[in-house]
Amino acid sequence: MSVIRLNEIPRKLNELRAVFCLGQRAIPFLEDVFTFLEEISPLMDEINASLRESTDKMPHARSQLESVTQATELATNEIMDLIDVLQAMTQEARADAEARLHDVEALRQADVRLQALLNDHLDDPDEALQDALDAHLSERQATYEALETHLHAQVDSFKRTRDSLNQILMSLQVQDITSQQIAAVNHLIENIRTRMYELTTRLNDRLSFEDTDFALAEVEAPSTFDPNARYDHSPDRQAQADDIIASFQTSGGGPASQDEIDQLFTGGDGLSGERASQDDIDKLFGGA
């Protein structure tokens, strides 16, 4: 047994020598690794500082975007209020022009009755008088026709103005689209900021940086938004809302059916998923 162990001594010595040889070869590599770590430590410190600086600026970027959203929302509301005033004025002027059309028609009919009365009560009127009367009535009829043409043009102009104002209101949905897209950007910024904070924290823990006072500031939870919101040029929804309101008014002011409400909310097919605007909802329930 002792002979066997003595025979193993040379092999063990060879193994030990191999270990020393490996150590001699590994020492230069380890020295290079240590040198690399010493050189990269300032770079990692700089990266950490840069990450912290960028992360600190993100809340300000969010605040700026929210300020833009609030400013555009305020301006849009002011524009919509002015459009409401213009629509009311246009509707009033259109109603007045239509009333003048009825007045002109009433005058025309009065002249016709006057001419009939004169013909019935004047026996063999003087030819000159008859000619003068006919000329006067013809002149009045021409005046009525000119007034009717002018008033019809005014009514058409007021109608086009109302349609243009409605189109402006529809176009202002871009503000809501912009707000939702900005909210999506804010949400993305907050996610990036959280990830950068986690990365910075890990760097501080692993590299033992002295300055570890950085903390993730609390921010307001993002509101609900649709990151895929898009501007819709189609006037179909406004036309559909107008039809519903017209039928609502024609029916004597009865309550709108659930089908009509669902149709307005879903855009008619029940599958589009488009949300009705607050103005559409207010109009449906008799709001201004």
Percent of the chain with pLDDT over 90: 0
pLDDT, tens only, 236-261: 655 666 666 666 556 555 555 556 55
pLDDT beneath 70, residues of the chain: 1-7, 10, 13, 23, 121-126, 203-288
> Domain 2-225 adopts which CATH fold?
Helix Hairpins (1.10.287)
DSSP state of 210: S
- Distance CA(144)–CA(32), nearest Å, equals 105
| Cα-Cα-Cα-Cα dihedral sign, residues 197, 200, 205, 208 | negative
User: What pLDDT does 211 receive?
Assistant: 44
214-226: per-residue pLDDT in tens? 444 444 544 555 5
Q: What is the spatial distance between Cα 77 and Cα 230, in angstroms, rounded to a whole number?
A: 20
- What are the residue ranges spanned by the domains of the chain? 2-225, 234-288
Specify the pLDDT at position 209: 42
Tell me the pLDDT of the chain averaged across its residues.
Answer: 71
Name 94's Cβ contacts closer than 8 Å, sequence gap at least 6.
Answer: 154, 155, 158, 159, 162
Q: Confirm if 73 and 175 have CB atoms less than 8 A apart.
A: yes
- Identify the CA nearest to 147 among candidates 112, 109, 114, 108: 108
Please report, rounded to a whole number, the percentage of residues in the chain having pLDDT higher than 70: 62
